[in-house]
Structure 1
Amino acid sequence: MNTANQETSRDEVIVARQAIYNAQLETIGYELLFRNSDNNSAQFDDSLTATQTLINTSFLELGIEQIVGSALAFINLPSNFVALLPHLPNSLEQSVLEIPITEAPTSATIALLRQLVENGQTIAIDHFCGQPASLPLLKHADYIKVDIQVIEKEKLPSIITMAHDNDCKAIALKVESHQEFEACKELGFDAFQGYFFNHPNLVKKEVKRSNAAVLLKLIERINDPKSTMKDIEQLIAQDVSLSYKLLRYINCATFALRREITSIRDAIIYIGLLQIRQWSTLLVISNAAKGKPKELLVIAMVRAHMCQQLASQTSNINPDEAFTVGLFSVLDAVMDISMEDLLDQLSFTASIKLALIEQSGDLGRLLKEVIHYEKGEWLELGDLQFPIEDYAKRFLEAIFFSEQQLASLEI
């Protein structure tokens, strides 16, 4: 019996949804809710991590179409939502990001929201109260959500008018009775959500995890210049889940193939070793350490693409090496191995190793700048290699690139 397949495990993933209705009681969308148990409740200490898990579960593991069908998916973001931008779904036409109200949204936050809207993202302002500080956010929103149990009744008409004046639809939250539903309709609310209609219901699925040992060995072999195509083909064939994902990836619409690829050898020949290296590393980050935060995978992809695209603007840095540096920058956290020990097993150039261990050299400096920008550490950026506008552009491009790749790989 194949030991690699014996080690493949199964886990259950869970997410809850609560429907949002229009005045005709037609479902227009669902708010997605984090759940980590069968009792339809959520227990977590970190709202950022919980939201990241919710996004990964909904879009990468369950599949958003399995949860909401063709309706909208409303995702409630935490107050520190800027850190979540790299992890947002690429299903722009179907997702609605619920932005929390802050006392004074920064110009950087407004600029990012403006860019998201220009890229096609739908925005909702959560728990809108009509405060002046929130007006800059309202200008970029398609929806506002109003908690009718908190806002005084006499303030509701002006809030609805404010929304409609800015071409926003107003959603009444926490509608708990037929009387409240009728009153909200009379006031002019466009949509409704609450226990009067239904409680959140669970969506569950069992997912298969690939063999981590095989995946790590695959990366070692691919980065070994002595490895042959036959070596790599045999290594992938050891894990059925791994082989299946490769064939699904290569036959997805992204590649627009004229014919279906049905063998591992044909897949490797078609996409090449560079793509195999990138793909297998994604699976290592995703599967090697059960229980690790899945947002590490998104961070790796965002850093890789952002480093690669910035490197393409200069002759001093190899874009492929920049991609590798970004991709491997989180592996020590995933594998619980020091970066030095990890790199001892991989055949990388000295410049890549110095970049990953010390963040030195041209590659290391680029990686450091990308990490500071990703974390919003503006004061740490210092003397940049490129105009600040380039970092913003490449950052948002990397976000959408990462979600496209993850969706193709079905991670």
Structure 2
Amino acid sequence: MPGQREHDAFAIALQPIHDADHRHVADRLLYRHHGEGVDDPVAATARALATAIYELDEGRRLGTRELIIDLPTEWLERSDLLPSPARQMIIGLARDLPLTPELMTTLEQLRERGYRLLVPAPELRGSGSRLAPLADLVRLRHPDELDADQLRALRQGRTRLLAEDIRDPDRLERFRALDCHYFDGRYLAEPTFYDARPRGRHGNRAAQLRLINELYREDADLQRLFELLIQMPHLHVAILRRANSSLFGQRDQQADLKRAMQVIGLNELRRLVMTLSLASDMPSSRLKVRMALVRAFMCRNLAAPFSNIDPEDAFTTGLFSMMGPLLDEAQATLLAELPLNAPVARALNSREGHLGALLTLCEEHERQVADDDLAPDRLQQCYLDALDATDALMSRL
């Protein structure tokens, strides 16, 4: 629909930031909306963070570089949602901030947690001078934006300078003469924007609310969280991507949701879920989820008699055989990005191996059920048990 296309026309870019030796040391997160304006700054920022941190493939991610994020005041009030690790994040403050005692306390707490603050140079004048002790970086858009005394005070406090709006070689040299530490690479090339993945409406709002409630319980139950997340395909994929990012340094690729949840930990799981929820980033219908779960449980049931087949691999094979349709993405492209082990990948891509045979049996049985054909007793029982397991799981929502 036209309205949906406008809503989905959202793109981000990671603008390179280099140091005085032209090394690419950081990126600045930029985002834009091609359709109607985004009225909610919290949702817009969540959308950008969701794409940059949880969606980009490993080749486009930050790696160990720092990320500069310009945050609206409304987002600072939700500091529990800030991405990790803090040492890698630089928070850009907006101009004309209302420097209330509450905001100053929030900024101090962010620095105590390890986040660094980027302050526009004009904000250091007048009452904004209170920000100077909290500024780890100062953004300069003109070489004359600060006078000699202000620059001297910043250097003594070990505050670094970020040069922006570099229009020509002359201005670049003037910034260099100020001993700027960082330079916005936009003067070398315009940023390349990446389209965010299409967004849709989540088909089970009740499950989403229960998930958030469970996440913030003091005695959050991993099994309960797993049962909720397994029904939310986009979150499932995002957790796998996050667990296998360079941030967590896993030697073995994690394809199992429960293990991936343990790798990233509860706090990171909260950030991921809340960011994607604010970004309205969970596009699947309850009916499709039910079909995928039935297939997954059936694959696991069929694997039970065979000691050489991992039942969890069988479950993953069944579930991910429908992940593309669940997320409205090309199945082959999605599978190429996911950290699936070799037997699961072969089963999904070409129906090879023991897992491929189980998946083929499930698919053939689904066609028989649709055509009202009778199936062998063993196969039919596995299917009926899968229906019961799926209904039991989804009824708890």
* TM-score scaled by length of structure 2: 0.49
* TM-score scaled by length of structure 1: 0.48
Larger radius of gyration: 2
